[in-house]
Amino acid sequence: MSSPMQNPVPPAVQPPVVQYAPPRHRRRSFAGPVVLIILGIVFLLGNLHMLSWMRLGTLFAHYWPALLILWGVIKLVEYQQAQRDGVPARGIGVGGFFLVILIVVFGLMATQASRFNWGEIRDNMNIDDSDLDNLFGQTYNFDDHLEQDVPANATSLRINDDHGAVRISAANDNKITVVVRKRVGAESQNDADKYNKQAVPAITSLGNVIILDAHTQASGDHSVQSDLDISIPRKMEVHITSRRGDVSVIGRDAEVEINSQHGDVSVEDVIGNVKLHLEKSSAKVEQITGDVHIDGRLNEVSVADVKGSAQFDGEFQESVKLGHITKNVAFKSSRTEMEFSRIDGDLNLDSDDLRADQLFGPVRLTTRSKEIRLEDVSGDVRLQDEHGGIELSMRSLGNVQIDSRNGDIHLSVPDKAGFHVDARTRDGEIQSDFPEIKIDSNEHEAKASGTVGNGASHVVLNNEHDGIEIRKASTRASVAPPTPPATPANPAKPPRSLPPPKVKVEPTEN
């Protein structure tokens, strides 16, 4: 038997003491503070007028991807710092994710917006540069004065003014005088002074041509408007190019040519030809001893008192008014073609109606969707219209042909006119004041033919889906009965031996 001393109990084993290092916290991201600093600097520069808001917008539209690059660099630096510190790196986070999305969305929108032709959009919406100046800066005014003698060989003046009104009048001496009224949009007076010095009008000579350039584009994208009041000898030709601004020429004994966009053009008292090439502009031309030629896309046109011919080619958005044009008139647009030898009265043309009086033929008119009314017309007439009524009153009857569709035809001829008529209508009726014209009608078609008087003129009328009326001019004039004379207070009684005369009243037709 063994003793207790031979099998001693081993002492208890103590577990090793583990010491933990204190936790190391991840560093806070400094991307947010960097973004705030950048935004603060940008808005500070804007408020101090060191950068215009439009300029800041342009910079953002071109360089917004640099913000994403900066954001990525910051996150990469934070990741490397976290690796050195032995702590997990911070991710983008929900806030950072939405910030990146906002930068991308607004950046793409700004880039697309910068590619728009804002000048054209502004012109189409009729927004003046002064409106933009009020939003993104201030307007500063400057005046200037140019004057020099006209060289002996100079016969023509060419004017280039990209933005501003141009007014030309006749001078009493042999000088060219220019009064400049300039408006500059800028963030400060110093900027305005700088832009003003860059956009200085200049007069140069090239052979027999004097060139006046307003230099409004010399200051780049900054808004400069130069209004020019010019006086030159009356016998000098004038050629004007203007992109935006009204143009006025009064008193010339030579040719006038104007290229204008987005402005009202007025030409008056010219002995010579007038040529206007206009875009989204209006024109008023009066007292011209020469020919007039107007083309382009126009709003309102008014031409009167022209001793020569007049020609119109283009698109006319609102109205055309003509009066007292001595020679041939030719008009052509996508919807209406018209020509006649002269007009002693007035003509008004708009999108729905054409009204004219005292036209001299041969008259040629082709149009659609217009109500036509021509009065006191002399000579041959050829009319075509769709979806509109036609009223034609002849003063001196020539050969007439009218073709209409979906609109009534009303023809009025002098009482003693001689003509032969051939008329036909489908789905309509024919009416006549002349017993010589025989009418044959059935359920779907009506025809009329006959000779009145000597039959010297030939009248052909064709209509689809509406009626035809052939009236005597005196009959149509008598539709509205004359106002009877006022009865005197004590009328004298006729003698008994002379009974009052009997008045025969003929019936009238409408």
- Given this model, what pLDDT does residue 483 score? 46
Higher-confidence residue of 424 and 6: namely 424
Average confidence (pLDDT) over 443-457:
92
What is the DSSP secondary-structure string of 219-258? TTTS-EEEEEEEEE-TTSEEEEEEEES-EEEEEESS-EEE
- What CA–CA distance (Å, rounded) separates 274 from 44? 55
pLDDT digits (tens, 9 = 90+) for 208-257: 999 999 998 887 777 789 999 999 999 999 999 999 999 999 999 999 99
Of 179, 37, 60, 142, nearest to 108 (Cα)?
60
Average confidence (pLDDT) over 70-87:
76
Q: Is the pLDDT of residue 481 over 50?
A: no
Average confidence (pLDDT) over 27-56:
68
- Given this model, what pLDDT does residue 478 score? 40
Beta bridge partners of 295: 277, 313
Query: For 453, what's the count of Cα atoms within 13 Å in the CB-facing half-sphere?
Result: 12
Q: Are strands 329-332 and 419-426 parallel, antiparallel or unpaired?
A: unpaired
Beta bridge partners of 258: 240, 276
* The model's pTM: 0.70
In terms of C-beta density within 10 A (0-12 exposed, 13-18 middle, 19 or more buried), how is residue 419 classed?
A: buried
- What CA–CA distance (Å, rounded) separates 345 from 304? 10
Within 309-459, residue ranges assigned H as helices are none
Higher-confidence residue of 478 and 433: namely 433
Average confidence (pLDDT) over 316-333:
94
- Given this model, what pLDDT does residue 19 score? 53
- Given this model, what pLDDT does residue 54 score? 62
Of 194, 221, 64, nearest to 136 (Cα)?
221
pLDDT digits (tens, 9 = 90+) for 254-295: 999 999 999 999 999 999 999 999 998 999 999 999 999 999
H or E stretch at 4: none
Query: For 457, what's the count of Cα atoms within 13 Å in the CB-facing half-sphere?
Result: 20
Q: Is the pLDDT of residue 89 over 70?
A: no
* CA 21 from centroid of its chain's CA atoms: 80
Q: How confident is the model at residue 509 (pLDDT cuts 50, 70, 90)?
A: very low
- Could you give the 3-state DSSP secondary structure of residue 43? helix
pLDDT digits (tens, 9 = 90+) for 413-448: 998 899 999 999 998 999 999 999 999 988 889 999
| C-beta atoms surrounding 61 within 10 Å | 18
Q: Is the pLDDT of residue 384 over 90?
A: yes
What is the DSSP secondary-structure string of 81-107? HHHHHTSPPP--HHHHHHHHHHHHHHH
Higher-confidence residue of 211 and 44: namely 211
Contact in structure between 371 and 430 (CB atoms under 8 Å)? no
- Given this model, what pLDDT does residue 500 score? 43
Q: Is the pLDDT of residue 125 over 70?
A: no
Q: Is the pLDDT of residue 12 over 70?
A: no
Mean model confidence pLDDT for the chain = 82
What is the DSSP secondary-structure string of 416-453? T--EEEEEEEESS-EEES-TTSEEEE-SSEEEEEEEET
